[in-house]
Structure 1
Amino acid sequence: MVTEDGVAYERRSAVPVIIPVRPRKLAEVPFVELAEGRLQGVVSSRSDPRRLYASSITARRHGLSCHTNNNRPCGSLGGGQPCKHIGALIDAAVARYGLARVAHHLEADLPEDGADLGSGLRPGTAPDRAAEVFSSFLRHLAHLDLPPSTEPLPELQWFPAAAAVR
């Protein structure tokens, strides 16, 4: 991605803030990110408000992983077929980043008109990444507990400081 001044963001010390493509429901998918070679996030259970699922899709191979906060595998994920949590994660990612960016990150084929991103995946199973996904989610949540301050925070040196771009 190239910024307005013609410099690739990978070569800058500040990353541009990406404004969400459209609003998404935080209660359903409170956390979604494109990181570490996968689309990953936390999805709330529809049947039990105390249960969360750490769901992820690896780039290129499209390995699927979905586990509860009790470290149990999702009962609906099997045989490389996406469960409803993976579907909700994809929908939230597309709302947050846009279809083209998510497809590019996952190295997936862009779907035909009217199809969803899931149809462009060639899914298989992946190693359990629940601990990594929940850890990333908790790190993000910890920043919400910090008191307001104008002083720099060493742990947020990575945080985007440039103007927002689409």
Structure 2
Amino acid sequence: MSNEDADDLAWERSAVVRVTPSAKARKLAKVPFVEMADGRLQGVVSSGSDIARVYVSSIAAETHSFSCSTNNNRPCGGLTGGSMCKHLQALVAEAALQYGNERVAQFLGIEGDDLSAGLRDGTKESAPAAVVFNRFLRHLAYLELPAVTTPLPEMQWFPAGAVG
């Protein structure tokens, strides 16, 4: 058995998950949360004009239908019929930094890796913002926990580092 096969077996038997590093460093002030989940590229985008307001933006895989609303489910004023608002554009740009163009394009079902060209066929549709915003708040809550060395039961799924 090769070392590579032994490493793969060690990962399969461990209680940790491999973490894919960010493609490039991100600045979290504009888009503090981005994920590819539930068949959507989705995340939380800060308002450019009001520090207390955030937008939940999403783009559906395959259909490329898009949605953007405040955390209070008020529609984004910049979202018009067939064009994406600046919040959605920021979400796509940060997703490309986090996951890489190729991976985001593959997830959304875009040929090649030109995300802006591949997303021109989407239409506006309403999508639930509460689930995405709730996940974002849960991530923020973990940042407020005190630094301890004892295990946290609700964090057992979280990657613990390399198994060696």
Return the TM-score normalized by structure 2. 0.84
> How far off is 1:11 after superposition?
9.5
**Structure with greater Cα Rg:** 2
My pick for the range that moved more, 122-131 or 71-80, is: 122-131
Which protein has greater RCO, CA pairs closer than 8 Å, 6+ apart? 1
Number of residues of Structure 1 aligned to a counterpart in Structure 2: 157
Contact 1:17 1:163 in 2 (8 A): no
> How far off is 1:127 after superposition?
2.9
Q: How far apart, CA to CA, are the structure 1 residues paired with 2:117 and 2:138? A: 32
Counterpart residue identity of residue 158, structure 1: W
Contact 1:64 1:124 in 2 (8 A): yes
Q: How far apart, CA to CA, are the structure 1 residues paired with 2:156 and 2:47? A: 33
> How far off is 1:161 after superposition?
3.1
- The equivalent residue for 1:118 is 116
Return the TM-score normalized by structure 1. 0.83
- The equivalent residue for 2:88 is 86
Q: Which residues of structure 1 form unaligned runs of 5+? A: none
Question: Does 2:140 align with 1:141?
Answer: yes
Secondary structure at the residue paired with 2:43?
strand
- The equivalent residue for 1:34 is 36
Structure 1 segments of 4 or more deviating over 4 A? 3-7, 9-13
- The equivalent residue for 1:163 is 162
| Residue identity (%) | 55
Counterpart residue identity of residue 115, structure 2: L
Q: Which residues of structure 2 form unaligned runs of 5+? A: none
Question: Does 2:129 align with 1:130?
Answer: yes
Secondary structure at the residue paired with 1:75?
coil
Secondary structure at the residue paired with 2:106?
helix
Secondary structure at the residue paired with 1:103?
helix
Q: CA RMSD in A?
A: 2.5
- Structure with bigger helix share is 2
Cα distance change of structure 1 residues 66 and 11 upon mapping to structure 2, 3 Å threshold: farther
